[in-house]
């Protein structure tokens, strides 16, 4: 059993970021540069690209990135830019090509490994020094890619940070040990449902909302029925290793507390009947319950707009047999809608003079202060450019 001490409900207020962080283009551009283009960004569910030639286009910071399943079955990522005169190679969101990626403009054609395969008169062309052109050098520019938990994570930085520290380490730190996530076998689960939400809010409002549960009693009636301790306002993420316990009369993590689906076999007695939530910066939320995993990916597209793709992952048998996951999906779908409504209510007023100096964090939200500090540190990092004024 995980034990924890509840902090006293009283205490001091801490300041938040000021309103401009949520609505100014200059801040958003700096975040693209110093957060989304430098960190490991969770791009696609690997199983969405099942066979060679399957691709998906993903916006990462200011760059369009193509994730492609190669002929050898591995996933590769490339900048989605033709090396000839820079046309966007793929404009479709996703698709399948037979053997090659062909630029529609002048027909430069690339292999699934990114190498330049063909171009009109390619055999007669030479590079600037008069040598026959190197097909790798004129190939698509590669982007670092790692697969973990059944997702492909990409990093645009020329020297990516340690995946072990930044991604796996974050999950380990939150759950208290490295094995805890392994028990859920997330990579082997199947997508039972995917819902894409187009949220009219800054990505940081969505992160902050996910991190706290001060709002749970007021906007999540179904969730607090299933997880009674959430009514107290402390998020599961407040304590290392803590998972919120299901209510005594609750059978499963469903909208009405009725029984869920088959329990994931690796889930331990300690993890059973508990909900764990993890934030992996900058764009992932992972929610663990005994019979499924809810995996959110955020795609920030503008200061005031974020696409959230949410996967409900179950044991493959549950999905293949067409078992009814409706009540199971409905619980967190409602939570998502309730949360995103709250974020959308907050977004338009971020530019108000009332919020010019920001707001306050109550004690059960104090850990959001660390997120704010992290944002400021990232924006001040590397370039020395600082927070745009
Ligand atoms: S820009 Fe792609 S072939 Fe010319
Ligand atoms: Fe919430």
CA of 338 to the centre of ligand 2 (A): 7
Task: Indicate whether 125 pLDDT > 60.
Answer: yes
Region 339-343: mean pLDDT is 98
Residue 82 CA: which ligand is closest?
1
pLDDT of residue 389: 74
pLDDT in tens, 174-191: 999 999 999 999 999 999
pLDDT of residue 383: 59
- Of residues 150 and 6, the one with the higher pLDDT is 150
pLDDT of residue 256: 97
Region 77-84: mean pLDDT is 98
Q: Report helix, strand and coil shares of the chain as percent, to nearest 5.
A: 30, 25, 45
CA of 230 to the centre of ligand 2 (A): 10
Region 329-349: mean pLDDT is 98
Region 114-124: mean pLDDT is 93
Ligand 1 atom with the shortest distance to the CA of 106: 3
List alpha helices for 155-310, DSSP H.
Answer: 163, 169-175, 203-211, 216-219, 221-226
> Where on the phi/psi map is residue 127: left (φ > 0), alpha (ψ -120 to 50), or beta?
beta
Residue 212 CA: which ligand is closest?
2
User: If we measure between CA atoms, which residue out of 358, 301, 369, 385 comes closest to residue 20?
Assistant: 358
Q: Which residue's CA is the nearest one to ligand 1's atom 3?
A: 106
Q: Which among 66, 78, 79, 87 is the best mutation to test ligand 1's pocket, defined by most ligand atoms within 8 Å of the CB?
A: 87
Beta-carbon neighbours within 5 Å of ion ligand 2: 339
pLDDT of residue 241: 85
On the 0-12 / 13-18 / 19+ scale of CB atoms within 10 A, 305 is middle
Cα–Cα distance, 335 to 222 (Å, whole number)? 8
Sorting pLDDT into bands at 50, 70 and 90, what band is 82?
Answer: very high
Task: Indicate whether 3 pLDDT > 50.
Answer: no
Cα–Cα distance, 146 to 123 (Å, whole number)? 35
pLDDT of residue 385: 64
Ligand 1 atom with the shortest distance to the CA of 108: 3
The mean pLDDT of the chain is: 94
Q: Which among 90, 103, 119 is the best mutation to test ligand 1's pocket, defined by most ligand atoms within 8 Å of the CB?
A: 103
CA of 127 to the centre of ligand 1 (A): 16
**Token pair 């020297």 is at which residue?**
159
CA of 109 to the centre of ligand 1 (A): 9
Sorting pLDDT into bands at 50, 70 and 90, what band is 246?
Answer: very high
Listing from the earlier edge strand, what are the strands of the sheet with 54-60? 41-45, 151-155, 142-148, 75-79, 63-69, 54-60, 94-96
Task: Indicate whether 380 pLDDT > 80.
Answer: yes
* % of the chain exceeding 70 in pLDDT: 96
Q: Which among 82, 91, 101 is the best mutation to test ligand 1's pocket, defined by most ligand atoms within 8 Å of the CB?
A: 82
Ligand 1 atom with the shortest distance to the CA of 86: 1
pLDDT of residue 1: 30
The count of other CB atoms within 10 Å of the CB of residue 96 is: 12
Cα–Cα distance, 69 to 51 (Å, whole number)? 6
Region 119-145: mean pLDDT is 92
pLDDT of residue 5: 44
Task: Indicate whether 257 pLDDT > 60.
Answer: yes
Residue 208 CA: which ligand is closest?
2
pLDDT of residue 269: 96
Cα–Cα distance, 44 to 48 (Å, whole number)? 7
pLDDT of residue 238: 66
pLDDT in tens, 352-364: 999 999 999 999 9
pLDDT of residue 7: 52
Q: Which residue's CA is the nearest one to ligand 1's atom 1?
A: 85
Least confident span in 120-134, 234-248, 370-384: 234-248
Pocket (CB within 6 angstroms of ligand 1): 82, 84-87, 103, 105-108
Tell me how far the alpha carbon of residue 164 is from its chain's centroid: 17
Q: Which among 108, 119, 133, 139 is the best mutation to test ligand 1's pocket, defined by most ligand atoms within 8 Å of the CB?
A: 108
Residue 340 CA: which ligand is closest?
2
Ligand 1 atom with the shortest distance to the CA of 85: 1
Residue 83 CA: which ligand is closest?
1
pLDDT of residue 2: 33
Sorting pLDDT into bands at 50, 70 and 90, what band is 10?
Answer: confident
Task: Extract the runs of DSSP E, i.e. beta strands, from the chain.
Answer: 14-15, 41-45, 54-60, 63-69, 75-79, 94-96, 100-102, 109-111, 116-118, 142-148, 151-155, 190-199, 244-245, 274-280, 284-289, 292-302, 305-314, 360-361
């Amino acid at each position: 059993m995980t034990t924890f001490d509840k902090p006293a409900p009283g205490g001091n207020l801490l300041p938040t970021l000021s309103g401009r962080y949520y609505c100014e283009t200059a801040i958003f551009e700096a975040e693209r540069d110093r957060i989304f283009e430098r960190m490991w960004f969770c791009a696609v569910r690997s199983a969405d690209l099942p066979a060679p030639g399957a691709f998906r286009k993903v916006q990462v910071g200011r760059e369009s990135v193509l994730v492609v399943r190669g002929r050898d079955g591995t996933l590769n990522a490339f900048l989605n830019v033709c090396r000839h005169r820079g046309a966007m190679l793929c404009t479709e969101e996703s698709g399948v090509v037979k053997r090659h990626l062909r630029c529609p403009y002048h027909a430069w054609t690339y292999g699934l490994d990114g190498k330049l395969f063909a171009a009109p008169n390619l055999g007669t062309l030479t590079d600037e020094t008069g040598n026959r052109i190197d097909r790798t050098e004129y190939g698509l520019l590669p982007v670092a890619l790692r697969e973990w938990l059944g997702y492909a994570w990409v990093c645009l930085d020329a020297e990516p940070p340690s995946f072990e520290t930044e991604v796996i380490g974050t999950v380990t730190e939150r759950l208290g040990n490295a094995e805890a996530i392994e028990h859920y076998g997330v990579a082997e689960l199947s997508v039972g449902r995917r819902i894409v939400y187009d949220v009219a809010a800054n990505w940081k409002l969505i992160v902050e909302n996910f991190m706290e549960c001060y709002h749970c009693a007021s906007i999540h009636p179904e969730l607090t029925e299933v997880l009674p301790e959430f009514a107290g306002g402390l998020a599961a993420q407040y304590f290392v290793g803590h998972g919120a316990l299901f209510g005594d009369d609750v059978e499963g993590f469903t909208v009405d507390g009725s029984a869920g689906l088959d329990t994931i076999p690796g889930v331990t007695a300690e993890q059973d009947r508990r909900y764990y939530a993890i934030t992996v910066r900058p764009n992932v939320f992972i929610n663990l319950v005994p019979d499924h995993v809810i995996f959110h990916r955020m795609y920030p597209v503008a200061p005031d707009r974020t696409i959230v793709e949410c996967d409900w992952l179950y044991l493959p048998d549950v999905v293949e047999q067409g078992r009814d996951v409706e009540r199971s999906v409905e619980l967190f779908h409602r939570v998502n809608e309730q949360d995103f409504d709250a974020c959308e209510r907050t977004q338009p007023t971020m530019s108000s003079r009332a919020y010019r100096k920001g707001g306050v964090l109550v004690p059960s939200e104090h850990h959001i202060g660390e997120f704010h500090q992290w944002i400021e540190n990232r924006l001040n990092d590397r370039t020395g450019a600082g927070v745009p004024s």
